[in-house]
Amino acid sequence: MYPSAMKTAVIGASGYTGGELLRLIGMHPHLEATYISAHSNAGELISSIHPQLTGYGIQEFSSLDIEKAQECDLVFLAMPHGESAKIVPQLAPSQKVIDLGADFRLSSSDSWVKYYGGSHAGTWTYGLPELPNNRAAIASSVKVANPGCYATAISLGIYPALNSIDSADIVVVASSGTTGAGRGAKVSLLGSEVMNSLSSYKFGGIHQHTPEIEEVLSRTANKQVGISFTPVLAPMPRGILATVTARLAQNISRQEVRDLYEVAYSTERFLQLLPEGHMPRTGSVLGSNNVHVQVALDEHSHRIVVSVAIDNLGKGAAGQAIQNANLMCGFDEKTGLGMEGIGA
């Protein structure tokens, strides 16, 4: 059992995900952010980058100091892909680490090389607790790979139906807010470019979450899964709305389709199948770790249609990381994550 406050490190804390981690840790009764680093912003006030985090007072971002990170009970890594793999070998093998980047998500080294480039660092326990058998694996692990935001929404949206669909014919169109692209200055993400406009990107099946989704769903279904995924940049800061469709492999009724989801979600604390007629909205999950889902049967095309909303910085990143930390540390899974969405 840990003391009332575990010493916690957040490395890469100046990004959007890092800021959300700091917000959630600040509300967590058993975690204390004792080491907060952001190499390029070292020496700057935390509140100058994250003005909402006034509770951190005059505390500054530290430069990267492995010895200070080694003193912590729990380490969150919130850095671009390829960076976590440089730090992890310097941490103790027994140290609890959650990587919010992509470095340890994939099992296939070929997929890593194709979609990310460079050497594949290895594979950690995949931190999506709601998938079958994952919760126990996370609780017994000291190294966990936090899933990608799109991968979270899409996987949770379709997994209850995997045994009833043609798993090689899953089609996804998903829109994400601009924080999903990180904090780097890019012309395409300027307010003047994004406002009043929608645009697809990484068009034609080249998005890096594609192999991640296929791997996790293939493990879950125990058969090969293939997806066609088109991401869309939406004119909003945060949130994901995913529409997932798949051809049914058997004749089942509309109610039987809904029953699949009611059974799968019946004991889950963050997944909600909405009442019929209610559609998921990104605003309804904003600031929370919740997942809102609606499911329908398109009888004309004989396809299942699923709509999923998450906060890409919540359940899609920092909220899920806290949920995984709770499991790894023996805390109640919802500790520090009890808030509902903000709404309109």
Round to whole Å and give the CA distance between 195 and 206: 25
Contact between 280 and 259 under an 8 Å Cβ cutoff? The reply is no
Round to whole Å and give the CA distance between 5 and 112: 37
Joined tokens for residue 113 = 């090389």
Residues belonging to the chain: 344
Q: Which of 77, 92, 93, 73 is nearest to 2 (CA)?
A: 73
Is 126 in a helix, a strand, or coil? Answer: strand
Round to whole Å and give the CA distance between 311 and 59: 27
Catalytic residue among 91, 97, 149, 151: 149
Q: Residue 240 forms beta bridges with which residues?
A: 176, 310
Q: Is 329 a catalytic residue?
A: no
Contact between 145 and 125 under an 8 Å Cβ cutoff? The reply is yes
Q: What is the CA radius of gyration of the chain?
A: 20
Round to whole Å and give the CA distance between 266 and 258: 12
First to last CA, the chain: 40
- Active site residue ranges: 149
